[in-house]
Every structure is written in C-alpha cells, then in structure tokens.
Amino acid sequence: MDIQLNFINQSNDASNSEVVVFQRHTAGGSGDLAVAWTVIKNCGQGSHHPFVYPLSLAVGARDSDGNYTPQLPAQDGELFKMTLTPSGNQLVPAGAGASPQEVQVLNALDRGAIDALCFRDGRLLAVKHGVAPQQTASFQFKPTIWIGVVSQVQTGEVMNAALLSELNTEISLLGIASADIVMTGGGAGPASKPFAFELQNIVMA
C-alpha cells in the first residue's frame, strides 16, 4: 500500500527554502549518514507538493568496477546476494535473511567491496558503503519520515552529520493512508519563528 502525502507551504519564508524528506535506517548502528530521499524545491507560499510514500522497498548494488545492478523489489526478511555469474556481477534473491525485520544484501563475491543501495519509490533512500566480500549490509526503517529546511541539497545526496544535526522533525506514518504535511514559521525580523511541520487532514488506513 502507498501512503499519499501532500506538502503544503503555509510558512512566512521569503527566501525560497528547500525542504528535504528522508529516513534514518536503524540497522547496523547509528553512524550511517542519511540520504536526501525527496527534495521539494520552488514550492511558494500557499503552494503544495503531493508525493507518494510506498511501503515497499527495493535494493540494488554498485560493484568495485562502478557497475550498478537493477533495482529488485524487497520485503523485510529477504536476503539478496551479489554474486559472479557467467555474464558478470549480478544481484540475485537468496531466500530468507537472518532477521525478519531487515532487508539484507550479502557481498558473495570473492573480491571487491560493494555499495549496497536501498530505494523507495525508485529513489535512493539509504546506502551502505564498502561492504567487503562475505559481509552483509542490513537495512531497517521505522514507519517515520524526517523533514526539514535545507539549502543546496540534491535528491539522492548523502547528507553530512552537521546538516543532519539540524534536521530534527520526525513524523510517524504508522497506520496512515494519507495526510497533509503543513509547514509554518520562517520569515525575517524579530517576529520570525522556527520552521515547524505538522500532519493535518489525516486519513487512517
């Protein structure tokens, strides 16, 4: 099932700020940096930007030769492995993984590290760099998104720790079918307020 979301700009921002939506994956420690999953640009005051949050994921991989595999649909509990086939390196389904809550990517190559990639709605959601041979990358996400105001961030870009420390609005999507995400605040001068994001017009699944 897909969750229908609609960003609405009701802020006082006059500097055409960009808004980033991303997730933090909870598997494998908190040291991994987050990826800008969706960046909303040029959405003026009173305008809105609809987007879809699918519950399904996909995985892919990039090998040490710079090749990217196709995206494969992935469910929690599934394992995929990067393996050498007669045609070259390929990512293939490999049955059940070690954890029912995680999507796992095993580097089954004899040599060469890979980057394991996780996608939602066709866009990069998370990446695990430098997965060595016989090592496994794990992806796990809570049903929440993070949202905040940024500048000069591109969709699919890995965001640095300094930027992430400023993005602290977490919104739960648990049980939701559709909702508006309303941004308020901003503006210039002493009357300006911090940007704030709130779910409104929530329809439960």
pLDDT means over runs of 10, the chain (205 residues): 96 93 78 88 97 96 97 97 97 95 96 97 96 96 95 93 90 98 92 94 97
Contact assessment for residue 102 and residue 77, using Cβ atoms and an 8 Å cutoff: yes
- Please check whether residues 36 and 64 belong to one and the same domain: no
Asked whether residue 95 falls in the same domain as residue 126, the answer is yes
| Domain end marker among 108, 139, 170 | 139
Q: Determine the pLDDT at residue 27.
A: 67
Q: What is the pLDDT of residue 118?
A: 97
Is the domain of 80 the same as that of 18? no
Among 101, 106, 93, 59, CA closest to 77: 101
Count of structural domains, the chain:
2
- At residue 70, φ and ψ (nearest 5 deg) are -65, 160
Q: What are phi and psi of 183, to 5 degrees?
A: -100, 130
Range of the domain at 77: 57-139
Domain boundary among 117, 139, 161: 139
Does residue 153 sit in the same domain as residue 133?
A: no
For the chain, where are the alpha helices, taking DSSP H only?
161-164
Q: 162: helix, coil or strand?
A: helix
Domain boundary among 111, 139, 167: 139
Assigned token pair, 38: 């969706």
pLDDT at 28: 59
What was the pLDDT predicted at 26? 80
Query: Are 105 and 132 found together in one domain?
Result: yes
Full-model pTM: 0.93
CB 99 within 8 A of CB 75: no
CATH of residue 174: 2.60.40
82's enclosing H/E stretch is strand 78-85
Residue 91 sits in the same domain as residue 22: no
C-alpha–C-alpha distance, residues 28 and 142, integer Å: 14
> Residues 50, 27: one domain?
yes
| Same domain, residue pair 63 and 116 | yes
Token pair in block for residue 204: 């439960």
Please tell me whether residues 118 and 65 are part of one structural domain. yes
Burial (CB count <10 Å: 0-12, 13-18, 19+), residue 31? exposed
CA dist., res. 38 & res. 155, Å (int): 6
Q: Looking at the structure, do residues 72 and 118 belong to the same domain, yes or no?
A: yes
Same domain, 135 and 61: yes
State whether 72 and 37 are in the same domain. Answer: no
Cα–Cα distance, 109 to 47 (Å, whole number): 49
